Structure 1
Amino acid sequence: MNPPCARCGKTVYPTEKISCLDKNWHKGCFHCEVCKMTLNMKNYKGYDKKPYCNAHYPKTSFTIVTDTPENLRLKQQSELQSQVKYKRDFEESKGRGFSIVTDTPELQRLRKTQEHISNVSPIAHEIFCLRSRWREEQSLHHPSDELRFVFP
């Protein structure tokens, strides 16, 4: 018995039969799903068991990747390193000026040290540096000896 056409459902006789995409077609029924251009065995492209011309062949796209913890971490890291996000954040912060950083203990210690250094006279600072260097050298050779400076 002759099989039915995949497009119209009517019987396909051997003289007009095209067998492809695991189906049987009339020559006139074997056309592009989109533009209805008549196709043959040389110019068709099959997708999802349907015939398409070269111009309307569906483009395969990437599949959705599941959101595993590792993929979410990589996505977040990529966004952080993205120049697009960096530029957007820069543009948003342009008119606002700088934000004041809260005083952490480390920041307070650094500020105090800087103030102390800036208040010290250049000669006293030089003596301090020499003394520190001398201590380092002495600790390598004679750990018990120590040089003492007396300031008036």
Structure 2
Amino acid sequence: MKLKGTAHVYGNDIDTDRIIAGKYTKTLNMQELADHVFEDLDPDFRSKLQSGDMLVAGTNFGCGSSREQAPLALKKAGVSVVIARSFARIFYRNAINIGLPIVEIKDHTINDKDILNVNLSTGEVSNLTKSVFYKGADMPSVMIDIIREGGLVEYLKKRGTYQLTK
């Protein structure tokens, strides 16, 4: 699975409240979540973001609460992948569960508006703007399969192991 997009770079310790404010977490309307993503951190984010663009951050991305709405809002807004030096573990798992691709690169020098190629299968990121290559942390193949299917529910449905109970 290969992606290409423009980087939007932010710093360390971006918590889930900064990704999507708590006042929006009571809605089931995914477009409303997307419309307000990063609203408090960067009010211009939604106007700058093009579908397929990439979010790049420092350490501890997605810290704070365990709200699943944070990766859902990013995905629905059009973020194709989140690249960070490290992720809060609950955000990492929630992103996988909803099918939002993530790549962990311990040391990167990616700048805002750099053009990136990401190979999710190998964890490789090429910065086309600077001609720099990064190798991300290896992700288990089952997690890559879950992302490829669009999330855990779709992954399980495809395998016939997901059933709604009444």
TM-score range, shorter chain: under 0.3
TM-score, length of structure 1 as denominator length: 0.21
Whose RCO is larger (CA < 8 A, sep 6+)?
A: 2
More helix by share: 1
Larger Rg: 1 or 2?
1
TM-score, normalized by length of structure 2?
Answer: 0.20
The answer to which structure has the higher strand fraction is 2
